[in-house]
Copies of this chain bind each other. A is one copy, B any other.
Amino acid sequence: MQFEDLIDTQPLWLNEEGLSNEIVLSSRIRLARNLEGYRFPTRAREKELEDVSELVKDAVTKSPYFANGLSFKTKHLSQLDIEFVRERHLLSTKKRIVDCVVGKGEIVSVLINEEDHIRIQCLASGLNIKAVYPVIFKIDEILSSNLTYAFRNDFGYLTSCPTNVGTGMRVSCLLHLPGLVLTKEINKLLDDVMSRGFSVRGLYGEGSEIEGNFFQLSNQITLGIDEEEIATKTEKEIRNVIDLERETRDKLMREAGERVEDKIWRSYGILKNARMLSQEEFVNLSSAVRLGIGIGLIDNTYLKLLNYLLLYTAPAHLQKMKGKIMDADTRDIERANYVREVLKRT
């Protein structure tokens, strides 16, 4: 697979067949690992980083999950391509020079020399932590048998940032919570969630804004607790949020059904007809339509299209598809055209 083929292949974790997919967009686990005897990427010299990269890539190729995959270095990418891989959640920062190895379908990937020497990531559609868990630890097993991890019996895995020390594991789900937002119950919920040791971020990870009622919920604690317990506790917390969101949607429809239906159908009408759409507006309108699908107002076949569009209407994706750099106004026009074209497929 070549880098330029990425744009033409939809990540498999974006298909809509996961559990509780009316609320959970995707599940993700990532492990942070570092090599014994090498400085963390923030402090290492270039030669050291190159050595790390060679070692890790050699180890990664031993895993069948990366057969027919793709490998690229961000320093060889244009600004547009860096933005493009960020939009695909393959990269979470613009800053570092990193290597990325991606398995077919983008279910698994390994980032080399980002914040840590190694970041292993595995994704699945919907609420599916149980499916992700064995995959990521199989990859970890292959890597650990070919590399010497920085590990202390008292601490566990050592990581560049102390918040990851221990298991180096973060379990997260991308949740769509319009009911809790519309009823203004979200802030109390987020406070509760955080007080129980979980953290909440926006659609594009750390530092990103809460857009379109999307929230990434993940474990905060990585130390003094084993991997299975992190996965179990995080999934329990997420199931609790899902239940609350479902109850809130029912309550909302009982108490303000007409207003909610009106908001949903207007959003649908605008998506199907607008000639200019900013990304922010697309995300917000599609959030309302997503709620409409969730409560059974709008046909379920739209969910797959909205998931696809959530990625492919992002600025770099739009520009890669059109094969040219476009200013914001032109992107808004092309975005609206593309949304209309895709929504006609139902």
Chain B nearest CB from A179 CB (Å) reads: 18
Chain B contacts for A272, CB-based, 8 A: 269, 273
Chain B contacts for A258, CB-based, 8 A: 275-276, 329, 333
Cα-based distance from A234 to B147 in the complex (angstroms): 91
Stretch in contact with the other chain, from A77-85, A161-169, A260-268: A260-268
Which parts of A211-258 form the interface with B (CB within 8 Å)? 258
Chain B contacts for A270, CB-based, 8 A: 266, 269-270
- Output the nearest chain B residue to A277 by Cβ-Cβ distance: B262
A274 an interface residue at 8 Å Cβ cutoff?
Answer: yes
Cα-based distance from A342 to B273 in the complex (angstroms): 19
Which parts of A263-306 form the interface with B (CB within 8 Å)? 265-266, 268-276
A123 an interface residue at 8 Å Cβ cutoff?
Answer: no
Q: Size class of A's contact patch?
A: 10 to 19
A259 an interface residue at 8 Å Cβ cutoff?
Answer: yes
User: Given B262, B268, B329, B333, which contacts A336 in the complex, CB threshold below 8 Å?
Assistant: B262
Chain B contacts for A273, CB-based, 8 A: 265-266, 268-269, 272
Cα-based distance from A333 to B272 in the complex (angstroms): 22
Chain B contacts for A262, CB-based, 8 A: 274-276, 336
Cα-based distance from A269 to B265 in the complex (angstroms): 9
Chain B contacts for A336, CB-based, 8 A: 262
User: Given B265, B329, B333, which contacts A275 in the complex, CB threshold below 8 Å?
Assistant: B265
Chain B contacts for A261, CB-based, 8 A: 275
Chain B nearest CB from A141 CB (Å) reads: 52
- Output the nearest chain B residue to A330 by Cβ-Cβ distance: B258
- Output the nearest chain B residue to A257 by Cβ-Cβ distance: B275
Tell me if A265 and B259 are in contact (CB < 8 A). Answer: no
Chain B nearest CB from A253 CB (Å) reads: 12
Chain B nearest CB from A55 CB (Å) reads: 52
Tell me if B274 and A259 are in contact (CB < 8 A). Answer: no
Chain B contacts for A269, CB-based, 8 A: 266, 268-274
Would you list 12 pairs from A and B whose C-beta atoms are within 8 A, ordered by A residue?
Answer: A258-B276, A258-B329, A261-B275, A262-B274, A265-B273, A265-B274, A266-B270, A266-B275, A268-B273, A269-B272, A269-B273, A270-B270
- Closest 9 pairs between A and B when the two form their complex, measured CB to CB: A269-B273, A269-B269, A262-B275, A265-B273, A262-B276, A261-B275, A269-B270, A266-B270, A266-B274
Q: What 9 additional pairs, Cβ within 8 angstroms, besides A262-B276, A266-B275, A268-B273?
A: A258-B275, A258-B276, A259-B276, A261-B275, A262-B336, A266-B274, A269-B269, A269-B273, A270-B270
